Structure formats: structure tokens, C-alpha cells
């Protein structure tokens, strides 16, 4: 019985040793949201940290011309709108005068039927002109709204034709100058290297009170804890559960293999 305890206790005390590669916090493949011809690719940026720099440029020359023309169209429409508003103001006064004149003359017994008919016709004509101008104003306002929406669309399209990275590691460029891309085409694989992670596959018993356990890296106790645990067994390691430990980005290169213990 004593021999059994001596053999059992070390197995219980020592945590299972895992080996994990220091990986960037996140790795994603960026895809094109628009179609276009690739006119510029910054191959020198591949394998480098990139900040506020364009690495892929799709042809947007016609979009920019269209944008400028649409802006000018909006300016012209707004001038037409202002003119028609002035016309409407003038016609509004004319309508009021013609209506007042018609109301007065229609009550006069001394006025002839022809005079009354002419007064009514002048009033109706003025009111029709006023309403026609108001209709044109509404139409112009609608055209301006449509043009402004088109401007927003063009700006959005132009912005999507330049892949600009902000503090990201450019792992791989997937297009070259002269390629034509469609929406959904892969453009580049980028990684968030602002911090790092260790990916482990833990046995069920290692998950017990996982939030209270400390992480040891290469035999040294750290203040890190397991940051995330998948509660469904892994598809590849069917008896284990994926877990991630988040750590600061290494000073040197990623991909270093480290020994990890959780206890």
C-alpha cells in the first residue's frame, strides 16, 4: 500500500506539460468588397509591420471622375432649386393678389360675367404656375438627395479600392499588379501582432477550477491565466478542449515554441 501511494502522489501533483507556439493574437484573410483591376501592390511591405499605409490599390480613376461630376451636378441642381424657390415666392404673392381680386369682383353686381370669368382664369392660371413650380422644387430636392446618395456610394467604393493597414503585420499578399479581383476575392493575410496567444488542447480534468490556476511558461510562474476555453471538444483532438492564453507580443519573432503548465 505504501508503494502505491509513492507512485500515485507525483502523478497527482505535477501538471501535464504542453508545448505551444507563440502566435499572433489574430490572423485574418482580408477580401475585396468591390471589383476592379489591381494597379498597385506594395510587395516590400510583405512580412513587415504596416501602419497607416496602403498596400493594395484597385483602379478607381473612373470612380473619382464620376464623383467629381456628381458633386458638380449637385451644385447645379441646388442653384436651380434656389431659383425655383424665388419663383415660387413671387408666384405665391401673385396667387394671393389674383385670389383677392377674384373674391372682390365676384361679389360686385356691377361687374360683368366676362370680367368675373377673366378674374377667375387669372387666379387659376397663377395658382397652376405656383403649384407647377412647387412640384419642380420637390423634384429637384429628390434629385439632390439621389445625387448625394450616389456621392456617398462612390466615396465608399473608392475607399474600398485602397487596402490601408493600421498597425498590422502583413503576412502575405495574395494578388499582384494586373490581376482583376471580384467581390470576395482574397487580397491579403494580416495578423494582429499587438499581442500574442498560446493555443493549448486540455484534457477534461485540467479544466477543473481552470480560473484559479496559474500558468507556468518554460518552468517559470507567470501572472497569466487561461483567457478562453472552448466548451465543445475539438474536431481534431476529439478528447481535448481548445484553450487560449493571451500574453504580450514577443520582442523578437513569433513562432517560438514554449513549454506550458497549468497548475
- Structural domain for 94, as ranges: 61-159
Nearest to 38 by CA among 186, 169, 170: 186
Instruction: Tell me if 213 is assigned to some domain.
Output: yes
Least confident of 11-25, 125-139, 165-179: 11-25
Of 117, 138, 159, which marks where a domain is finished?
159
Both 150 and 233 in one domain: the answer is no
Burial 211-235 (b: 16+ CB within 10 A, else e): eebebbbeeeeeebebeeeeeeeee
Both 203 and 230 in one domain: the answer is yes
**Residue whose grid cell is 483532438:** 237
pLDDT score for 15: 66
Distance CA 102, CA 65 (A): 54
Contact 212, 52 (CB under 8 A): no
φ, ψ of residue 185 to 5 degrees: the values are -70, 135
Of 133, 159, 185, which marks where a domain is finished?
159
Both 213 and 235 in one domain: the answer is yes
Q: What is the pTM of this model?
A: 0.75
Both 133 and 69 in one domain: the answer is yes
Instruction: Tell me if 239 is assigned to some domain.
Output: yes
Angle at 63 (CA atoms; ends 73, 172), nearest 5 degrees: 155
Instruction: Tell me if 101 is assigned to some domain.
Output: yes
Render pLDDT for 186-221 as a digit per residue (tens, 0 to 9). Answer: 999 999 888 899 999 988 888 888 888 889 999 899
Both 55 and 68 in one domain: the answer is no
Task: Pull the grid cell for residue 154.
Answer: 462612390
How many domains are there within the chain? 2
Amino acid at each position: 500500500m505504501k508503494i502505491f501511494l509513492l507512485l500515485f502522489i507525483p502523478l497527482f501533483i505535477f501538471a501535464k506539460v504542453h508545448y505551444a507556439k507563440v502566435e499572433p493574437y489574430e490572423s485574418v484573410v482580408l477580401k475585396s468588397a468591390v471589383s476592379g483591376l489591381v494597379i498597385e501592390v506594395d510587395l516590400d511591405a510583405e512580412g513587415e509591420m504596416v501602419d497607416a499605409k496602403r498596400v493594395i490599390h484597385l483602379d478607381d480613376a473612373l470612380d473619382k471622375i464620376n464623383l467629381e461630376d456628381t458633386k458638380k451636378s449637385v451644385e447645379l441642381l441646388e442653384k436651380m432649386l434656389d431659383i425655383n424657390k424665388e419663383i415660387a415666392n413671387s408666384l405665391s404673392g401673385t396667387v394671393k393678389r389674383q385670389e383677392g381680386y377674384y373674391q372682390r369682383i365676384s361679389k360686385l353686381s356691377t361687374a360683368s360675367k366676362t370680367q368675373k370669368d377673366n378674374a377667375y382664369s387669372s387666379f387659376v392660371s397663377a395658382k397652376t404656375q405656383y403649384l407647377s413650380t412647387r412640384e419642380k422644387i420637390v423634384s429637384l430636392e429628390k434629385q439632390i438627395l439621389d445625387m448625394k446618395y450616389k456621392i456617398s456610394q462612390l466615396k465608399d467604393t473608392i475607399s474600398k479600392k485602397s487596402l490601408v493597414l493600421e498597425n498590422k503585420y502583413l503576412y502575405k499578399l495574395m494578388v499582384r499588379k494586373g490581376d482583376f479581383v471580384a467581390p470576395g476575392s482574397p487580397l491579403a493575410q494580416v495578423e494582429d501582432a499587438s499581442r500574442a496567444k498560446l493555443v493549448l488542447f486540455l484534457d477534461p480534468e485540467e479544466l477543473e477550477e481552470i480560473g484559479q490556476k496559474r500558468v507556468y511558461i518554460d518552468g517559470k510562474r507567470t501572472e497569466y491565466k487561461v483567457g478562453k476555453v472552448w466548451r465543445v471538444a475539438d474536431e481534431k483532438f476529439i478528447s481535448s478542449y481548445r484553450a487560449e492564453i493571451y500574453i504580450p507580443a514577443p520582442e523578437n519573432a513569433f513562432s517560438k515554441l514554449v513549454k506550458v503548465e497549468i497548475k
